[in-house]
Structure 1
Amino acid sequence: MSLLHFQGTSALALDGKGRMTVPTRHRELLDASAKGELTLTKHPSGCLRLYPRPVWEQFREKLVALPMSADGWKRIFLGSAMDVSVDGAGRVLISPELRSAGGLVRDVLLMGMGSYFELWDPVRYAAQEAEVIAQPMPESLANAIF
């Protein structure tokens, strides 16, 4: 599988059934890399993660191999994982359970994070971003980019 490069933020809205339209700029790569098959799961940061299926399968194998001491984290990621498909109209259905876990009501931010996406409630994301900005930049990051 080739390296995926999802980046940027898209402000989107869920429809009345909890579906989100995947931006056109991401659909072609998702179709080529995963045939439109994705997996959604919770993340402890307060967002949802949306993985192309091959990327999820690699992550899942790493999770399954973790020792019993990581069972709580396995439950968060594996226990909430739901397989979804991009439909003919370019939409993905987000279950009520996952919408609730991510605090998603109507407006959402879809953020490309390299090989996967994060789905955020805009207010929750703004608070999280403010927390990050209030902290000093890690030296490893500062040395890598400046």
Structure 2
Amino acid sequence: MLFQGVSSLSLDAKGRLSVPTRHRDVLTGQFEGRLTVTRHPEGCLMVFPRAEWEKYRDKVLALPESAKWWKRILVGNAMDVDMDGTGRVLIAPELREAAALTKEAKLIGMGNHFELWDKTTYDEKEAAALVQGMPDALKDFTF
């Protein structure tokens, strides 16, 4: 299981989004449509298949006491959701507000999870990263 690629999505008036078909089959087949959504430190949301979330959550909870606010932000804001019969997922109002999600969004596959971004925010951050150029960590990477 490896999620990759970008999908442009629209949230409906109730805050639901339709999971793209290319991911829906894996999420329903391997993970029974069970997901967990939480905040990301960079201003988006992370969407995990529940089994992957549980691994991530255990790592977060093992962090030292000095990271207790990040434990609160990441674990305290996590919400379990299930895809409905048509492949939609409800994003809670608190999480939509935290990520400034309105209608237009981008779902980015990041390996074992997804990032869910407000479209405008993502486009602005991507443009800034391109202007800034490659970080040193990528200087020896062959493209």
TM exceeds 0.5? yes
2:110 is paired with a residue whose SS is strand
1:66 alignment partner, one of 45, 63, 87: 63
Q: How does 1:1-146 map to 2 (within 5 A)?
A: 4-146=1-143
Distance in 2, Cα, partners of 1:12 & 1:93: 13
Give me the CA root mean square deviation: 1.2
Tell me how far apart the structure 2 counterparts of residues 53 and 143 of structure 1 sit (CA, whole Å). 35
In structure 1, give the amino acid aligned to 2:14. K
Shift of 1:134: 2.4
Between Structure 1 and Structure 2, how many residues are aligned?
143
2-structure distance, mates of 1:54, 1:134:
37
TM-score (norm 2): 0.95
Q: Give, in angstroms, the shift of residue 12 of structure 1.
A: 0.9
Segment drifting more, 125-134 vs 67-76: 125-134
Runs in 1 of length 4+ with deviation above 4 angstroms?
Answer: none
How far has the Cα of 1:62 moved from its partner?
0.5
The 3-state SS of whatever aligns with 2:141 is helix
Task: Go from structure 1 to structure 2 and tell me whether the alpha carbon gap of 1:145 and 1:86 turns closer, same or farther (over 3 Å shift).
Answer: farther
Give the Cα–Cα distance (whole angstroms) in 2 for the partners of residues 145 and 53 of structure 1. Answer: 34
Give unpaired runs (5+ residues) of structure 2. none
